[in-house]
């Protein structure tokens, strides 16, 4: 059985391997032993913390194959970004130049550095190891976070965002960043991305262009990738668009990948999920595939299963094995969402 659960300290070796496998541009998991251990400790503390309003909590989860005990994927939620460290984006805008005298009107696209998403919740750290990229595993791992959002919405910002990985080659070279490196930062993309992942962001405030950047003055290869996603990220952005996420004109400051957003309560997986009461027994034969989770926090568990769910009933029958995997008993609540 594949079970999604909060990360724990014993998962460090698996998390480190996932950080290695995720490659360049996966900022949220730098290959740094100390940082990864801090991420695990922060997540463990967040899952047991009493929260009155979202602040700087981070909820990191893993996908475990219970048949062999292997951790085969990760996903995470940030409660409210930018509350302690600056959270930068470029905002795409337009400046209009018009002269009646010479009968000329031009619209020029600009990029302006901003902190507009401060306080938003963030979907992040989604990674599935190669052998498990099949069936609905990726969809299950990604959408499991919506059930956590639905059950514990008070712990997250009202707007939920996701930063999509931008265009870069197999060596980690970004066409957009090449311009930034040449004229402003002076360090390569991999190093800048790594420092950002470590939370060492002072160089951004010190070296990034402070005034709006005219897109038309950028090299053509840099212009072409603004708002475009990495090939490996296309399935992820398609899934989020189906959930109601849209790009509102914000892109990453390093690779210009798009950031998508949706109001928490308008996310389809949050809105359409249902709370049902568990009855343990023999599961019916006529079933459909559902994402299912318990409603706990520190003991959060989620998976996918074939269930019989009726619009006329607030009850769902789970096998003893499935109930045990989800840490639920008779009479407890689970949250379900059609896959």
Residues identified as active-site: 230
Return the SS3 of 276: strand
Number of C-beta neighbours around residue 133 at 10 A:
12
Q: Which structure tokens are listed for 273?
A: 């999920």
> What residues contact residue 287 under an 8 Å CB cut-off, 6+ apart?
306, 307, 308
Sign of CA dihedral 31, 34, 37, 41: negative
As a whole number of angstroms, the longest Cα–Cα distance in the chain is 81
Q: Quote the radius of gyration of the chain (alpha carbons, Å).
A: 22
Tell me the C-alpha to C-alpha distance, in Å, between residue 81 and each of 78, 124, 246, 325, 329: 6, 11, 18, 32, 35
Long-range contacts of 193-200 (CB under 8 A, 24+ apart): 193/24, 193/25, 193/27, 193/254, 194/30, 194/32, 196/27, 196/254, 197/27, 197/28, 197/29, 197/30, 197/32, 197/35, 198/30, 198/32, 198/35, 199/35, 199/85
């Amino acid at each position: 059985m594949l079970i999604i659960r909060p990360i724990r300290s014993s998962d460090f070796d698996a998390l480190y391997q996932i950080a290695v496998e995720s490659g360049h541009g996966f900022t949220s998991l730098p290959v740094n032993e100390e940082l990864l251990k801090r991420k695990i400790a922060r997540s463990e503390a967040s899952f047991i913390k009493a929260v009155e309003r979202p602040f700087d909590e981070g909820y990191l989860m893993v996908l475990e194959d219970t048949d062999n005990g292997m951790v085969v994927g990760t996903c995470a939620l940030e409660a409210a970004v930018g509350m302690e460290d600056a959270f930068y984006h470029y905002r795409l805008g337009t400046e209009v130049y018009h002269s009646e005298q010479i009968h000329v009107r031009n619209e020029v696209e600009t990029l302006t550095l901003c902190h507009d998403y401060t306080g938003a919740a963030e979907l992040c750290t989604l990674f599935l190891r190669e052998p498990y990229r099949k069936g609905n595993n990726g969809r299950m791992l990604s959408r499991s976070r919506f059930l956590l959002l639905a059950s514990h919405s008070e712990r997250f910002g009202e707007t939920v965002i996701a930063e999509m990985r931008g265009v870069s080659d197999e060596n980690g070279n970004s066409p957009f960043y090449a311009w930034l490196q040449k004229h402003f930062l002076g360090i390569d993309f991999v190093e800048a991305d790594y420092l950002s992942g470590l939370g060492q962001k002072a160089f951004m405030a010190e070296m990034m262009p402070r005034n709006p950047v005219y897109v038309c003055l950028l090299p053509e290869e840099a212009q072409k990738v603004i708002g475009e996603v990495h090939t490996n990220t296309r399935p992820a952005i398609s899934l989020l668009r189906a959930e109601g996420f849209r790009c509102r004109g914000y892109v990453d400051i390093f690779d210009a990948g798009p950031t998508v957003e949706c109001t928490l309560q308008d996310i389809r997986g949050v809105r359409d999920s249902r709370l049902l009461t568990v009855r343990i027994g023999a599961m019916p034969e006529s079933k459909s595939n559902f994402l299912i989770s318990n409603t706990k926090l520190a003991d959060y568990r989620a998976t996918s299963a074939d269930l019989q769910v009726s619009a006329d009933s607030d009850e769902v029958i789970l096998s003893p094995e499935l109930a045990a995997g989800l840490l639920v008993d008779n009479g407890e609540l689970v949250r379900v969402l059609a896959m």
